[in-house]
Chains A and B, each alone.
Chain A
Amino acid sequence: MMKSINGRIYGGLAFLLLGVIIVACSQGAIHFSYNQLWDFILEQSGISNNQWPALDKEVFFQIRLPRVLMCAVVGAALSMSGTLMQALFRNPIVEPGLIGTSSGAALGAASVFVLGKQMTWVTGSVFEPILLPAAAFAGGLLATIIVFKVSNTKGRVIVATMILAGVAVNAIAASGTGFLSYIARDPQARSITFWNLGTFSGADWLGLALVLTATIISFVLALRYAKSLNALLLGEAEALHLGVSVESLKWKIILINTLMVGVATALVGVIGFVGLVVPHLLRMIGGSDNRFLLIGSALLGAVWLVLADLLARIVMAPAELPIGIITALVGAPVFLMMLINQVRSEKKGGFYA
């Protein structure tokens, strides 16, 4: 809506994000006091030395910090993906978990985990490090295209068809992933929970760098097309009249989206409903301009996933809940409520009316 208000929302969200990151860094199986965190930062930036045990430092810098930051980046990616897909499908109940992007990417990633070792021509070559994200990308792309093509007829998306197509594609991908994890030797790939509900327990700096790069590239590109996506809200014909090359826009958005979601899913598994809840909340506070929604999603999505992972770590400490349980617990009821609203408003013609 108004620009000055948006500025304040971004500021507030950024502040909130910093807050939850600090809390999430402190809490967990090993507790760090805020003083200790501060000392770590001072020491790392070479300002002072301190007396904390080396093991504490190791845990913080090698496990806790990359994990919290990974949550933030993946949360941003999944929420922006929700925003992009909602604009593309012209429907607020779309998100990467629903339309197959995540499960397709998981299938791609699982294939590399399980079968990658047999592809000896890749091992040691320049392709090795990008094989996992590339396979996740390909899987996610294929799944998204199938659902989009099936549900989109003559420029209109039929909601029921979309949800059913999503169910079918998700089932296919899940059965593939299930089979692969059954025959897998690698303990992480064997864990079906990892693929279905996601976890950040394996987060490291290398993975973070990978996801961060994909997310930043996607964010910058997505912002460039945000205005065209706004025009698309009026319908494909109207967008065309406003000078948007609709066909090429659709492809670009699907590619950008799959890049973010594919890479994130390859590293942390499938985490559902993040892309649904976050843009929905933002729309209620600040309207539907995609420029606002993208920046807002990046910030609020990061906040939400850092919080969800914190909950996953402390609810049953020292055991850890799969994060997808928490995001679904919050997200699925929101999804159901939005679906009911949508069915009701179909006649009125407006969802947020």
Chain B
Amino acid sequence: MELVCPAGNLPALKRAVDEGADAVYFGFRNNTNARGFAGLNFSEGRAAEGIEYAHRRDCRVFCAINTYPQPGGWAQWSSAVDQAAELGVDALILADMGLLGYAASRYPDLPRHLSVQGSATSYEALRFYQREFGIRRAVLPRVLSLNQVRDVARHSPVELEVFAFGSLCIMAEGRCYLSSYLTGGSPNTRGVCSPAAHVRWEQTDTGLESRLNGVLIDRYAEGERAGYPTLCKGRFEVAGSTYHAIEEPTSLNTLDLLPELAELGISAVKIEGRQRSPAYVAQVAAVWRQALDSLTRDRERFAPTPAWQAQLGALSEGTTTTLGAYERRWK
């Protein structure tokens, strides 16, 4: 299984490559990718530098152009595809059908991966994308249980990549408009979720409050660990009780599932986190490199070490990890 690591900037890319990533993925400095955050991502020059660095060390580079071209904005997205092709990336990660068609006709030899934002949760959906746009690989949304992943893998016409570690989207990716409902910007339209420009922190008599465009997302008592106000991870009131009504602030960690994922023929595991620091990316990449190497040596006797789990646990949001939807009872 291939280890695919996030590169939010050039230092992170280099650290991921150094720690043994088989592939890294990046996006350009605009709204064409799903981490359209200020100060993140690559100019053309930095991308060229990163690609050269990775290729010299036998690491592949994928370019994420996985938001949806907006009316009147086609040129920005299609030129991102042109730019990535000219830079010599090893694959494009795309979600929009129009853009997939464009890439397939202009650059038929450049592999196309279906982004998780393409929301393909079944092999029938994968067949559609494969037949229409000749995709080589698809990243599965984080909504399927292990048994469901097994069904998809058994009949999939393309390679599969699954999320292994990082922030957990609780909603089917590509079909979540919660962020634009509160702030106007969403993953699909602007590559953002709960954007920082709309976040306000305020110390009040009742505790530390986090708001997103004025809407109270959470309120923390003294000493309570406060997290970024991602709207699905707040504490809300439902029928009289106040709790994490949608999702707790936890991270996905599938280290325990590696042997099963290998058994199913999954081609690659993906680390989320282009918005994270180079140090974070390096530590996560290092643990997963060791785990995958250990798995290759002896799949039968593979067991995550307490040290790996402790390292990953310390890097997790809310410092707890979950298997997410892979584990049926989580649903």
Whether A and B are associated in the same complex: the answer reads: no
User: Using a CB–CB distance below 8 Å, which chain A residues touch chain B?
Assistant: none
User: Using a CB–CB distance below 8 Å, which chain B residues touch chain A?
Assistant: none
